[in-house]
Amino acid sequence: MADAVVLVSGGAAVTPYTDPERAAAAGLAAGNTMTALRAHFVARGIRVFTAPARIGAGEVREDAGWQGFDDVPVVLPAGVTINAVGRVDDAGVALAAFLRWLADEREVGSVDLVGHSMGGLFSRAAIRELGGGGPRIEHLVTLGTPWDGSVLGDLLDGELSEADAHGDPATRQIFAEARPYADANSQGAAAEVSRRFLRGWNDAQAGVLDGIPVTAVGAGYFSAASEPAQLWPHDGLVSLTSGRADEVPTTVLPKVERHSFGDHVHSIFFAEAFGLPWERALTWDPAVFAVVDAALGD
């Protein structure tokens, strides 16, 4: 394994900086995305950090939202903090700066990146931004990352419509809530998780992942229909096909292992919304953690 594992949360996630010894003292220690996965690595004695992220520019001191946190012992500058609702490439710049900070301040020479949702895209943008400088990237694991588009992005872009829900109540609810949520929160992120945008962005990423083993994990709890494959099955936000990077060309993704969790949802937010145990979320299930461990070679 690398010197350290760095966990990267996704779009609209608020995550404090944590290290192996320190995390938020109140609420969920590493936010509502990465707390369980961080705890898994800490329990195994693996050096793990979470990249700070927030909604909008600035520092991460608390999250007053659902399943949030407070009393953060270490607050890092805005320049190394991801704007989780901004443009992917801008997030990559901030994440690359954070990784360089780890190299300089924490003597981290090599890193395994584990990204959830857009955190996988942020990680890819950061690898490109590093350009071989900073800590060496040993592995990239993505959990529910929209490699090839998302429900939100494709709906806003017009590639998905109400008819594609095929009357499924859960999918119709997700569709109904997607647009107002994006209008209220997005500072560029929503427009950059469509298949149309990401296929062009992926082409521009050719060569970035050369020499870096990738593991792409997708989920597909919502499976009321089979067409279009761009949507069904999906985890609430990302289709199983997109999460597994099934249609990403080898010029972009030369070395990849793909895994499926057909009865899982995107996050504990979706688990809570649809009456499922949190362990059915990709970042909360020990069975998913086992796949991550194997991907990182331990």
Tokens of 106: 């924490």
Q: Look at residue 241 in the predicted model and tell me its pLDDT.
A: 98
The secondary structure of 67-115, three-state, reads: CCEECCCCCCCHHHCEECCCCHHHHHHHHHHHHHHHHHHCCCCEEEEEE
Task: Report the C-alpha gap between 271 and 283 in whole angstroms.
Answer: 11
pTM summary value:
0.98
| Span 168-204, pLDDT tens digits | 999 999 999 998 989 988 899 999 999 999 999 999 9
Is the model's pLDDT at 298 over the cut of 80? no
| Span 9-30, pLDDT tens digits | 999 999 999 999 999 999 999 9
What is the DSSP secondary structure assignment for residue 231, as one 8-state letter? T
* Ordered domains of the chain (ranges, CATH): 4-295 (3.40.50.1820)
Task: Report the C-alpha gap between 1 and 5 in whole angstroms.
Answer: 9
Give the number of other CB atoms < 10 A from CB of residue 262.
12
| Span 129-171, pLDDT tens digits | 999 789 999 999 999 999 999 999 999 999 999 999 999 999 9
The residue behind tokens 């924490």 is 106
Segment 79-88 shows an average pLDDT of 98
Q: Look at residue 1 in the predicted model and tell me its pLDDT.
A: 74
